[in-house]
Amino acid sequence: MKNEKLTTDEYDALEQVAAGIKTERVSACVARNTKRLSGLKLLSFRGDGRLSITDKAQQLLFVRRCINGLRAIAADPLAPLEKDVAYFLGKKAHIIAREAGEGYDISDKGRESLVDIGTLGM
């Protein structure tokens, strides 16, 4: 995505589409962001005319969840993490399961990643 930063509103629109649009009409949030997100190849229209997120958008949302999870653990070792996020961050050695059995500690690699993320403005 080069340097195309998404706004919180655009992320919200992606998450709403990912969760599934239950009605014929999309929310105002999705409506005002559809054109830009489609242009970035994050949203597409299915054959039936409904919006869906692309694989690229799924990856982007997962990375965002991982970043938010890493930040949460940095702030509170007992912060809950979704299973897939905890697995990924653990596999990449960004977090370490605590010996006490609950929560995670952030590793040096995880701290370095947070610094890098901060400098990128994510």
Convert the pLDDT of each residue in 5-15 to its tens digit: 899 999 999 99
> Residue range 105-116: average pLDDT?
94
User: What does the pLDDT average to over 51-62?
Assistant: 95
**Average pLDDT value over all residues in the chain:** 91
Looking at the predicted structure, is the pLDDT value of residue 3 above 70? no
What predicted TM-score, i.e. pTM, was given to this entire model?
A: 0.86
Whether the CB-CB separation of 77 and 105 falls below 8 Å is answered with yes
Percent of the chain with pLDDT over 90: 75
Closest CA to 18 of 44, 36, 39, 48: 44
Q: Look at residue 20 and tell me whether its pLDDT is greater than 70.
A: yes
The number of helices, as runs of H, and strands, as runs of E, in the chain is 5, 4
Give the pLDDT confidence score for residue 54 in this predicted structure: 96
pLDDT at 118: 84
Phi, psi for 94 (deg, rounded to 5): -90, -25
Structure tokens at 10: 């655009």
The helix (run of H) or strand (run of E) holding residue 35 is: helix 28-39
Domain ranges of the chain: 8-53, 64-120
Q: Is 112 left (phi over 0), alpha (psi -120 to 50) or beta?
A: alpha
* pLDDT (0 to 100) of residue 106: 95
- pLDDT score at 1: 44
